[in-house]
Every structure is written in C-alpha cells, then in structure tokens.
Chain A
Amino acid sequence: MLKLEKRPQPSKAWTYAAPIVAVVITMLLGAILFWFMGKPPLGAIKTIFWDPVFGDFAFYYRPELIKKAAPLILIAIGLSFGFRAGIWNIGAEGQYIIGALAGAGVALAFYPMEARWLIFPLMIIAGILGGLVWAMIPALLKVFFKTNEILVSLMLVYVAQVLIIAWSSGLMRNPEGRGFPGSRNLNQYPSAANLDLIKDTGIHWGVIAAVAAVAAAYIVFSRHQFGFDVRLAGQSPRAARFAGVDPNKMVIVCMAISGGLAGMAGMFQVAGPSAQVLGSFPSNFGFTAIIVAFLGRLHPVGILLAGLLMALTYVGGDAAQSAMNLPAAAIQLFQGMLLFSILSVDVLTNYRVRLTQRKAD
C-alpha cells in the first residue's frame, strides 16, 4: 500500500525538481491527449516546445515569446507576494484590464499633444493606480467587513471585462474610426506608444519592468524585513501576529502590490502589443499568471522561468494551431494540466511516499 508520510522538513531537492517533473508529466499527458485527437504526439510537442525557440522561424517567434512572457511575469511577481502571505488575489485579470483602461485613458486625454517625457510616465502611474484601486476594493472589504477576497476579486474581473467592452465602443471609441468599436491606435501616437526599444527584439518598457520586478522581488524576499513578514504571515498567521505583523496591513500592502503590477502590465500591453482599447483586449493573462506564480514556486527566479515557459505554450500553441490545426482549447487544456501537475507533484516536497504492508486483518 502506498502511504504519504510527512517529512520532518521540506525536501530541498524536490523544491527544485517538482516544477521540472510537473512539466515532463504535462508533456506526457499532452502527448496522450494529442494522440487521442489523431495528431502525431511527438510532432505536436515539438511544434509547441521546440520550434518557437530553435526552429526555422525562431526569428519571428522569439520576440513574440518575450512580449507574451513580460506581462505574465510582471503580474505573477505581484501575485506571489499575496500568495506567500496567504492572501488570494484571483482577480489580477480585472486589475490588468483597469490598468490598461487608466493608462490608455491618460493617453487619449492628452491626444494629440506631443510630450512623451510627460505623457508616458503619467500613463505608467495611471496604469499602476488603476490596478491598485481595483485591488483595493476586495482588500478594504476584507479588512473592514471580513469578506472573502477570492470571490470579490474574481467577481470584479467580470465587471472590468464589461467595462472595457462598454468603453471601447463608447467613452474611448476612436472618433475617426467610422463607428467601429475600439480606441485610437496608441502605437501611432508617438507620445504614448510602447514599442520595441530595439527593433524586432520584442523588448519594450514592459519587459524592462518585468525584469526589474523580478530583481526587486528577489531582494525583498531574501533580504528585507517585509519579505520575511510576508512569508511568516503565510506560514503561521498567529506567529506573525506575535512577531508584530499587522494582518490587515499585510492584506492592504500585498493587494496593492499585486494590483499595481497587474495594472502596470495592462498599461504596457495596451500601449504596446495590443495597441488599442478593444473588447478583445482581455486575454486571460491575469489568470494564466496564477499558474505562472505557482509553477515558479512563488520564487522570483522561478516565476521568470515559468513565465517564459508559459509564454512558450501560448506561442507554440499558436504555431501548432496554424501548422497542425489544433483547436485553441487544447492549448488551454494543456496549461490547466500544467497547474494540476505542479500542485500534485508539490505534495512530494513536504511528504514522502512510503510502501507499507497491508495489515493482516
């Protein structure tokens, strides 16, 4: 009989091995899935995981990879603060959308003024504040009325989604757009555009921000009192209180960080790769970032790698869609399997599997 036995302390080896094992398990399950769908399993795996980075068209896919990874990493870093402290912000998608609306709103308000030194920084600030304000709703409700932040933050995603659809064909619609929904194209407004800093590399300001966020989070978690408090609050709330950590302050600060970073990611996205406010702007980055955060063990460097891997499933998924006629849902399924695998393999960090003999009776 198999039996799970708690380890006296978490296994270091499994902490690092678990994500890798999870990825391998997902690949195996994915291969089986593709095989059932009548596609060549190995070919599909290769199209998704290998070709975008090393294949013939890598020059096209690599910048795409970076552009997809940046918002995922930025949002996931923010989420990792809350998740480590046991505060479950599931609504990063909503904060991402509101950040985009706020950033784009600033740009559209100044249009057609030419002053990049003023407008672009203002957009970044507006994006951060937009996401932050959206995250403060569940945070303050939790602190003052003990509501569940999971539900409130999740519900606010739907509000944000409705809002962006309404505004893209109302408040923010391009007056010169012949009645089509969608705002002005921000890529064509030099003061607001978030384009590649070096042409065709995919590196825009959002990528820089994501890398900076990884570095900052690494320092905070490993060396700063705040990072320690976050971990303590997540591990034993009572011990944290005893150590002087105010649980309400922790909720506010962690929600602010995750909301702010999600909002910033939304702003960089709407001014860059997405180019305009449109009903189709939301692309579930805010939800996928939850998988990225856990796949990366809530560790900044892990999140960096996990973000790149998850971006690969997006880009590779697109490639597989066009090359092998795979349905888009198959890729989402694939990402879901990845989260399940990581959560299951995670058990081995704290538990070991023992073979026990069945009792005679």
Chain B
Amino acid sequence: MRRQISVMLFIVWLVGAIFVGNVFSETLVIGANVPLTGPAAQFGLGKMRALEMRIEEYNAKGGLNIKGVNYKMKLVAYDHKTQPGEAASVAKKLIYDDKTKFILAGAVGACCRAAETATIPNNVMFVFSCAGKELLGPDKPLNFRDSMSSEEQCYALMAIVKKANPHIKTIAVLSSNDTTGWDSCKGLIRAAEKFGIKCVAEEYFERDVTDFHPVLARILAKKPDLLDNAGTPLATGCIVFKQAYEMGYRGVKSWLGCGMPQGLVNMAGPEASEGTYLGSSWDYNDPKFNMRELTEKLKVYKARYGDEWDYTGISTYASAKIIFDSMIKAQSLDPHVIAQTMVETQPHQTFLGPYIFGNEGYYGIKRAGMHPAVMGQIQKGKMVNAGFAIHPDLAKLIGENWKFPQ
C-alpha cells in the first residue's frame, strides 16, 4: 500500500513537472557578431551588454516557456574586429558550431553585409544597428534593424536644425566609406533638400584616416552653412570637428550618428563641439523627454559597467524584449513566425517609447526599428534636448500628437 502511494505520488509529481515545464529545460543560444575592439568597439560592447542584461532578466524569471519547454538563454558573443572576413567567419561559427538561429547584435555595415551571407541561407534572424538600404528588404525577411538609421532620423534632425537656424542654405556631409557612411550621407542630403538646403560637398574617407586637413580644405572651400559628420565613428568624428575648428570653421555643425555626446565634448574639446546638433542623442533625464524606465536602466548599466551606454546598445536592449516577448506570444522559435509576430503586434511599448518596425515605403518591408526621435545639442559642454520628431509610419499607429509622459 505504502509503495503504491509512493508510486502514485511520483507519477503525479512527474506529470506536474512536465506540464509546468520545470523538469525539462533547453538552452537557446543567442548570438552577437560585433566589434569588441578597435574604433567601432563603442557600438559592439553596448549591444553585447544589452543582450547580456536582457537575457539575465528573462532567465531569472525561468527563461522562455515555449510549448511547455523552458528555454534558458545563453549569450555567445564574438569579436569581428571590424573586419568583414572575420564577421563572416563569426557568423558561420555562431550558426554551425553554436547552433544559433538568432544573431541579435550586429554592427558596422560591411561586417553585417558579410555576416548576412551566412545568416540568410540558414534562415537566421539577424538584428543589427548599421545603416544601409541594401541590408533590409523583402528578399531578407529575417534582417531587422533595431536602431533608427539615418533614413529614419535625418528628417527629424534637419527639421530641428533648420527651425533653429533658418539662414542655412547649404550642407556638407562627410562620413566613413562604408554602408553606414553612404546611407547616412544620402539620407541627409535627401532630407536637407526637403528643407531647401543644398548639398555642396559629399565626402567619404577610409576608417583609418586621422588627418582630415586635406578633405576639410576641399569641403570648407565650398563655404557650407552646415557641416555634418553623418555616420562617422566617435573618435574619428571628434577629430573632424577638432580639425575643422582649427581650420577656422565656425558654421553650424551636426552629427547624425553621434550617440555619445560627452565623448564628443571630451575628445573634440568644448570649443570645437559647442552647438553641435546630435542625431542619436537624448538627455534621458530631461523631464520634457523622459521615460522613467530608461533613466533607471541607464543607472544600472553605469553601475555595472562603468560606461556611458550608447544609443545602439539601448536600442538592442529594447528590441531584444520585443523579440523574446514575440517568441512567447507566438509560442515558437521559428524565426519567420517570430518576425511576423513582431510586426503584427506593434506598436510595442518599450523604454524608448512606442516602437515599431516600419518604413516599408523605403525598404519594401517593415523591418526598420523606429520610435520617437529626440535630437540633442551641445550647449556649454553639456548635451541638452533640442526637440523630437515622429516618423510618419509611427505617427500612423500612435498619432501625430503623441507626447512624452509628463
């Protein structure tokens, strides 16, 4: 009798454990293919840490429960050293050795283009922050961009700059000679034209160039009213503004892709950086543009890593939540099903505000991440918010009159 009771209790426990999903758990590998060293490391580290934190949060709650199975997530991150060849090798390693179907952090245009040669044929969801029209499209439905690229931001930036400086009639753009650079510059030029600003110089440089006097001499001879660093990495862009200042440029400056304003002030110097409008910067503590969860999370990041968290890392943190929640909603680990769910259930509420994947009119598919775009400006050595704008696709879902909660 006692034995029968024991066996029955064991069966009840076993059945309960199976249905609750506590006994059987699997590991879901989440990949990151990012620069962790070199001039682009600012982008890679922030994204990798974003995934690290997000995965820890979900794992602490038991992981992802998909069709009764608990999946603990494991982050596997490799450094592609800003080398496209290395990025392709890393992608293959993540797919074939680590067996992942989700590479949720990618950065640097050429490296993402190299990595997608492995992700696309293997139906791997690939989420990255680099700009580039050719990186998104109906022929690559599992490619997502988690941060707003130039195409989504430049309209807002030009609107704010022109409003504050109505005299501006000409713009000069320069950027690194890669996908991010080309698309940033082209997007700026298109947006500038909408406000009657004509492009007088469009220059590209290789990433390892540090002396910009020759190219600046060419640009400044055209007397632009506005000089924009487009998608240039932080350290290099700071040198551009520093050297432009040395060469006598005192016109309006903007930097579409600068996500670390204090870095700009520190490296370019207070005089050279003063007045610069920033496309990817947001004073998160400003009560007029405040999302409380974001402010709290920034403190957590700073305490843990001792660094400023740049925008591309913040957007990875936001998009990772959307992806993991979509896995749960769809009860699936099929990247195609998850991709569909992500689009069908938007807008998503994130710590960046309402967030969607859109801009189908430009890319042919809704895969570009968008949220209310706050633009900053350096004033007296500090970054302040200059205003915000909403992309038309986002406005269709949340309304034109959306405001930050006060």
A-B interaction: no
